[in-house]
Chains A and B, each alone.
Chain A
Amino acid sequence: GAVVSQHPSWVICKSGTSVKIECRSLDFQATTMFWYRQFPKQSLMLMATSNEGSKATYEQGVEKDKFLINHASLTLSTLTVTSAHPEDSSFYICSVFTSGRGYEQYFGPGTRLTVT
């Protein structure tokens, strides 16, 4: 069964509005979650590392005030795209990892955002 879920799976919003994407770890508690973005026909890009109970760590070039990340519990992280614009239309994917028996990483199914 799925280890990581995301909601919604797809969303269409108007330019200037904000969109919240949820990522849930179903099988284990995750102190760290990752948020990625993928534009059509391009490779993946890590946006930020979400840390439970503390501020997220953003990759260089990612606007932290535009992409708000909240990791309020060990099973839930949210990514809010604020004041969305058409260029934010992308595939947003979250992931969790475990290191108990070697490094393993599990991805959510992704959320397709279209900003009109």
Chain B
Amino acid sequence: GQNIDQPTEMTATEGAIVQINCTYQTSGFNGLFWYQQHAGEAPTFLSYNVLDGLEEKGRFSSFLSRSKGYSYLLLKELQMKDSASYLCAVRFDQTGANNLFFGTGTRLTVIP
């Protein structure tokens, strides 16, 4: 729902930087989340953006442009353990209820 688009798969080299993009329909936007999920495990929370700009948290940063309906997750100094799926989720304010929609996830493979 709400056309949450993110690439299905990405590959990057250990030590490098990778940017995972997420686009969404802007109408009713009420917050964007990024999660990391290793295969077979529950996800972990990475970031929550509701205002425009870049938020940095260690090796991970998340950017949001509400007017463009665009966010990215930036991973620096990639490590092998960063191989995982990265889920973008957007909350929309619809008919008085906040609804949360997930993208299909981006499976990142970090290679030596």
Contact = CB atoms under 8 A, between A and B. Distances in A.
Interface of A: 42-46, 57, 59-60, 91, 93, 95, 103-110
B48 interface: yes
Interface SS of chain B: strand
Interface of B: 33, 35, 37, 41-45, 48, 87, 89, 94, 97, 99-100, 102-105
A77 B45 CA distance: 20
Given A42-B104, A105-B48, A110-B42, 7 more contacts: A43-B102, A43-B104, A44-B87, A46-B100, A60-B94, A109-B42, A110-B41
B102 A60 contact: no
A108 B99 contact: no
Given A43-B105, A105-B48, A57 B97 contact: yes
Contacts of A44: 35, 37, 43, 87, 89, 102
Given A57-B97, A93-B42, A107-B43, A43 B87 contact: yes
